[in-house]
Amino acid sequence: MNKNSYSHSTRNGRRARRKQHIPKKLALLSLFASTLLLVGGGVYIAHALQSRSTAKETVDDQDNDYNKKEALLLEKIRQDQKEAALASTEQTEVTDKVQTLLYDPVQKGAIPRFSALKNELATMIDTVKRKHSNQQPIKIVGQVKMSNVTDQLKNYQPLLTIYSWDEKNRSWSEKTEPGATSDFVNQKNNQELTLTDLFTSEANLLAVQQVIKQKLLDDSPDGNTVIDSILSMPNMSLKNTSFTYHPDKISFNLPENATGSKEVSLAYREIAEYVNPEFVDQASIKDALVMPLDPNKKYISLTFDDGPNPKTTPKLLDILKEKGVKATFFMLGQNVVKNEAIVKRADEEGHEVASHSYSHPQLTAVDAERIKTEVQNTDKVIYHAIGKLPTDFRPPYGAVDPDAAAIISKPIIQWSVDSQDWQSHSIDKIIQRIHDTEYNDAIILMHDIYPETVDAVPIVIDRLRAEGYEIIPTKQLLGNKAKPMHMYYGSTDERPIQ
């Protein structure tokens, strides 16, 4: 064998061996890759199985957490109902993720307007259901809630409590929605609250009507343009007046009038002297009631009729100012028109400006239309002068009967001591007459149109004070609670006009 043949054979052998090694390497690589795939796949499968198991455990934990908190919530809701003042029965309804728990009072007959309350409650529940997105569970708790306004007055009102599941915080949120309808019930007779409950008499309601008229004028941009309509409003009555009770105020429906107002609301503190405290929260009239006069002191009132007079009334006002005395002026409308500045001064200096009719007729001897004209025209001119309606009235000659009193619709302030200045026109006799007839709680009648009366006043004041009297206006003497259809001779001498 030559050298070349050997070399060639050797090379061929090496090539053959290389060809034999390639499949082996490929097989090894394939085996290695398969092993990796098997190992990796196993790891992946194991991890996937582990993750799936963990996720399932998490879901199970969350479900358990939700179920536990749901159970606690339902337990709380039912416990609250057991402790509620109004005993009830539960009706439950579940639709998708909405659970409704409706609580019906056991004693429905104790709630006069139960049907209206239940209908509103049903409407409220339907509204919540329509708005619910169904993404998270909610629970709707509907009930008629009872609350005590006073010992004698209870309120029944629809109430929704909505509990929504907050997935992020894993908790229930709470929202309360009260209904618009309230049923206020007098516990004495288990009937709806009435104006008779609140004000006890037509007289008190007429006193409230005076407050309403003044409020309408105060709220008007120009009271003088609507005063006729306001003064002509028909008198309110306990049976025929529509109202809405609120815990802190009362709203009255008004007849059609020039102000355009359909309703007026008064806080109870504005009418504290006329409202029955059994049916209003005491906090709403706290500090509004007038403190009674000191029983250990003596009080007396000076009143002046028939003015104002341009010559005598300003001098009288000077004297009263110097002496620090407040009085009551029962003015004639025809004199107010001619002396508005004097009327305004009397009001600004703290005196009470009251009505004595327009032209001084005997009201029991004229017809109803004349009485109405006399009263309303005087109200108008006094309002024009001082921006306030007179609240008290003294009939000329003290003459009044039930028909006239109903038209006047103001407290009737009489007198218990007559100075008889209209008869004597004597300073000394005026002073002596008052001295001989004065007593604690008396209302003294004088006239500011007589010069002799004005000259006697400073001496009268000094003597009264020397005898221990405190001189105050009649409104203060009567405790700011005088009412129409009654006449007053003093704070302890009140007489219904019958």
Of 197, 351, 447, 448, which one is the catalytic site residue? 447
Give yes or no for residue 463 having a pLDDT over 60: yes
Structure tokens at 175: 């929202």
Give yes or no for residue 276 having a pLDDT over 50: yes
Any idea where the domains of the chain sit in the sequence?
84-191, 195-285, 298-496
- Tell me if residue 356 is catalytic: no
Of 305, 306, 421, 448, which one is the catalytic site residue? 305
Average pLDDT over residues 317-325: 98
Q: Which residues pair with 299 in a beta bridge?
A: 470
pLDDT at 9: 47
Q: Burial-class residue 153 by CB neighbours within 10 Å (0-12, 13-18, 19+).
A: buried
- Tell me if residue 21 is catalytic: no
Give yes or no for residue 5 having a pLDDT over 60: no
CATH topology of domain 84-191: Heat Shock Protein 90 (3.30.565)
The pLDDT tens digits for 439-462 are 999 999 999 999 999 999 999 999
pLDDT band per the 50, 70, 90 thresholds, residue 261:
confident
> By the 8 A CB rule, do 87 and 106 touch?
yes
Average pLDDT over residues 77-93: 93
pLDDT at 16: 46
Domains 195-285 and 298-496 share a fold: no
DSSP per position, 402-417: HHHHHHH-S-EE--SE
Architecture per CATH, domain 298-496, reads as Alpha-Beta Barrel (3.20)
Give yes or no for residue 201 having a pLDDT over 80: yes
**Yes or no: is domain 195-285 CATH 3.90.640?**
yes
pLDDT at 76: 95
pLDDT at 257: 77
